Structure 1
Amino acid sequence: MSDEHAQWQMEAYEGFEIHVAPFVKGQPENQAPQPGDRYTYIGYVCHPGADPKLPGHSVPFHADGEETFKSAADALYEGVHIGRSIVDGTHPDLTVLPLVTGGV
């Protein structure tokens, strides 16, 4: 799924915005979800009002490898959880430090 067609949802958290879009894994863009489909997510963390398309204005993230979920709600929940861990500084690989120190 392309980012332009994603069903983005946003949560304000600790002075940042967490944007997450759940989608059916491996589904063509114009096909409706089917029973038994598995979901995944993409997302990013940014300052309020930042343009995520500009380099250095967001911290993108996505589900790991073949990780899937039974529903869009489950994928969204996990994506928000991961976004919070990035903001909190508990994610093992991603941080908002460049957003804070870069003045963006």
Structure 2
Amino acid sequence: MFQQLFGAAVPAALRGPMLVDDVGLPRFWTAVWSVMSAAQLAYSTHTKKLRYLEDLYQHADNLRGPNALDNALTELDDGVLAQILESWFVSI
């Protein structure tokens, strides 16, 4: 789910758009990408990219269960990644 983090308790470097799962925990690999690469993007571009990624995460969750995409990326499971990506491309 797409959320905006702007609270005073959030460090300045981590404020802005992010993706969280159904429990409210950050989607791991999008959080890493946002911290490492999104600083060079305009806010609107960062938001747009996260919304597309959220669609992919939702598709993976529906196909393989909660946190399927992060798990497949962490484990470098190319078979599961291929299944998720192929079915997502067909769906869009």
How would you bin the TM-score normalised by the shorter chain? 0.3 to 0.5
Higher helix share: 2
Higher RCO structure (Cα 8 Å, ≥6 apart): 1
Calculate the TM-score normalised by the size of structure 2.
0.40
Higher strand share: 1
